[in-house]
């Protein structure tokens, strides 16, 4: 209730005062950063711009229909001085399918600008980001989305809830609150935009997480308020655990929005401790995921530009997959899932993903 | 046409990256020889790497120091890594 009241009070201030207050807060926090020593750079070499990202090619078979899916996601990182970073990611993907009645594969290439942001590391506790950025809601959108990282190429059912990209300003950071707990946070304001490649909604939101390094557990929660149309609200919760003795990665995410709610829980086990055929087994990973979506009363087609959509009815989907890490940054993936909704069908995915990193300048020490 | 174009892009980036990774192995070896006295910090850095970065992805091959500086700055923002963790991870990834 207190949160709602303070939120309403902030809204009642009016836009010019909100903006003034916001920039006063940023100036205050940034001023603290000016006293911050250059210690962070002592261990570093002078950074060089990089072209990195991932590329992949997948064959997806959904309900018996083939789709060839090439994906290229280039990322450009341009460090400026000791505290600034310009970063951007494009997303070029397609789903080439045969037309009904046969013929050559064809389809439209989707081109998206996932982020184009300027980061200012104000101090050890705060980074100020302006521009277009990935909406910090849950953990999938910001951390697990790149095809070379995700354990299963099929995105979770709840992925469209409160994620995507936002245009505006974000404050974020991470710092230890005790010897055994690190806190990380992100809070943002996004403006409404209908400019091509910069589409976004007018929203405000944030995420906070607590990471316990010793047991390698992270728990966190996310929140977003839409400041337009029906002014709907979304909430989320995430949990991740890597039990240190075994190469197992467990993740869980729950999200609830106007259009529905759901969760996914995923486990990925790397067979690196298996001694038989160890050279092969240590490169092999088994993944299992269970997820459910419960349709709400809202319209699911809120953003027709997005390539991701929520289901229109209740769905559950178990998925199983295998990843084989051929070499650094190169992996082959295969997975099978079963869509269990109004109609039941199989979801297969096979493909290969590659992560590249190329310096745009002299990369060796000077 | 579009399929060929995208496939070509994928292939070119893969070939370039493969050739580049061979070059950087020699650079990494040279860096290791220059910093033989930071073993304790390096071990701590490895632990921080596994705890922070390993939550999302497998350990990548090490990059040259100037590239790592950029990558760590990017990941500091993206993964909200703490200042201390960032320093030790950078040390580990450049040794």
The residue-averaged pLDDT of A99-107 equals: 86
In this prediction, residue A2 has a pLDDT band, given cuts at 50, 70 and 90, of very low
Chain segment A114-146, per-residue pLDDT in tens: 999 999 999 999 999 999 999 999 999 999 999
Same domain, A224 and A324: yes
For B63, half-sphere exposure in the C-beta direction (CA atoms, 13 angstrom radius) is 27
Residue in chain A nearest B3 by alpha carbon: A70
Q: Locate the chain A residue with the closest alpha carbon to B38.
A: A43
Better-predicted residue by pLDDT, A18 or A204 = A204
Q: Check whether residue A160 and residue A104 sit in a common domain.
A: yes
User: Are the Cβ atoms of A45 and B71 closer than 8 angstroms?
Assistant: no
A259: domain CATH number?
A: 2.40.160.10
- Is A16 found in the same domain as A101? no
Residue A6 gets the label, from left (phi > 0), alpha (psi -120 to 50) or beta, of alpha
- The pLDDT, as a whole number, for residue A13 is 57
> Mean pLDDT score of chain A, rounded to an integer?
87
With CB atoms and an 8 Å threshold, state whether A359 touches B16.
no
pLDDT range class, residue A103, cuts 50, 70, 90 = confident
pTM over 0.95: no
Are A275 and A246 in a shared domain? yes
Q: Is B51 helix (H, G, I), strand (E, B) or coil?
A: helix
Residue B47 is predicted with a pLDDT of: 87
What per-residue confidence (pLDDT) applies to B24? 45
Q: What is the pLDDT of residue A170?
A: 97
Number of domains making up chain A: 2
Q: pLDDT for B11-42, tens place per residue?
A: 454 444 444 444 444 444 444 455 556 788 88
Alpha-carbon distance of A176 to B81, in angstroms, equals: 10
**Segment among A211-225, A243-257, A316-330, B18-32 with least mean pLDDT:** B18-32
- ipTM surpassing 0.85: no
In a domain, A92, yes or no: yes
Q: How many domains does chain B have?
A: 1
For residue A230, the model assigns a pLDDT of: 82
**A353 in the same domain as A268:** yes
Chain B 55-94, CB below 8 Å of chain A: which residues? 55-58, 60-61, 63-74, 76-87, 90-91, 94
List the domain range (segments joined by +) for residue B8: 2-93
- A162 or B58, which is more confident: A162
Question: How far apart are alpha carbons A219 and A253 in whole angstroms?
Answer: 10
Domain that holds residue A2: 1-35
User: Looking at residue B59, what is its pLDDT?
Assistant: 76
The answer, yes or no, to whether residue A277 has pLDDT greater than 60, is: yes
Quick check: is A365 in a domain? no
In chain B, the residue whose alpha carbon lies closest to the alpha carbon of A44 is B69
Render pLDDT for A75-94 as a digit per residue (tens, 0 to 9).
999 999 989 999 999 999 99
Q: Residue A307: pLDDT above 90?
A: no
Element (H, E) at A206: strand A203-212
A5 and A106 together in one domain: no
Name the token pair of B79: 């993964």
A62: in domain: yes
């Amino acid at each position: 209730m207190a949160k709602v009241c303070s939120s309403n009070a902030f809204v009642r201030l009016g836009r010019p005062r909100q903006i003034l207050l916001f920039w006063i807060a940023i100036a205050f926090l940034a001023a603290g950063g000016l006293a911050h020593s250059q210690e962070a750079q002592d261990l570093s070499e002078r950074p060089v711009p990089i072209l990195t990202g991932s590329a992949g090619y997948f064959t997806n078979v959904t309900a018996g229909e083939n789709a060839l899916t090439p994906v290229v996601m280039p990322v450009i990182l341009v460090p400026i001085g000791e505290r600034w970073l310009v970063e951007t990611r494009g997303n070029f993907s397609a789903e080439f399918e045969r037309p009904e009645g046969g013929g050559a594969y064809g389809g439209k290439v989707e081109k998206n600008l996932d982020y184009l942001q300027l980061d200012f590391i104000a101090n050890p506790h705060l980074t100020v980001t302006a521009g277009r950025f990935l909406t910090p809601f849950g953990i999938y959108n910001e951390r697990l989305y790149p095809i070379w990282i995700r354990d299963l190429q099929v995105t979770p059912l709840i992925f469209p809830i409160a994620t995507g990209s936002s245009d505006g300003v974000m404050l974020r950071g991470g710092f230890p609150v005790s010897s055994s707990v690190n806190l990380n946070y992100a809070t943002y304001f996004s403006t409404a935009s209908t400019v091509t490649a910069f589409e976004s909604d007018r929203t405000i939101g944030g995420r906070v997480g607590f990471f316990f390094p010793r047991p390698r557990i992270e728990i966190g929660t996310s929140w977003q308020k839409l400041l337009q149309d029906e002014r709907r609200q979304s909430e989320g919760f995430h949990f991740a655990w890597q039990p240190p003795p075994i190469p197992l990665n467990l993740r869980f995410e729950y999200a609830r929005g106007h259009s529905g709610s759901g969760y996914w829980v995923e486990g990925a086990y790397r067979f690196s401790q298996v001694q038989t055929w160890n050279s092969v087994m240590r490169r092999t990973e088994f993944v299992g995921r269970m997820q459910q979506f419960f349709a709400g009363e809202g319209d699911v087609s809120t953003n027709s530009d997005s390539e991701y959509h929520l289901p229109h009815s209740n769905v559950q989907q178990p998925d199983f997959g295998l990843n084989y890490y051929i070499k650094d940054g190169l992996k082959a993936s295969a997975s099978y899932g079963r869509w269990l909704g109004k109609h039941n069908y199989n979801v297969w995915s096979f493909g290969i993903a590659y992560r590249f990193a190329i310096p745009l300048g002299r990369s060796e020490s000077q | 046409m579009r399929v060929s174009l995208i496939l070509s892009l994928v292939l070119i980036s893969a070939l370039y990256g493969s050739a580049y990774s061979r070059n950087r192995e020699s650079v990494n070896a040279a860096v290791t020889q220059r910093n033989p006295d930071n073993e304790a910090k390096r071990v701590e850095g490895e632990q921080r790497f596994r705890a922070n970065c390993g939550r999302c992805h497998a350990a990548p091959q090490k990059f040259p120091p100037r590239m790592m500086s950029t990558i760590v700055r990017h990941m500091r923002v993206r993964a909200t890594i703490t200042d201390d963790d960032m320093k030790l991870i950078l040390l580990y990834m450049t040794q």
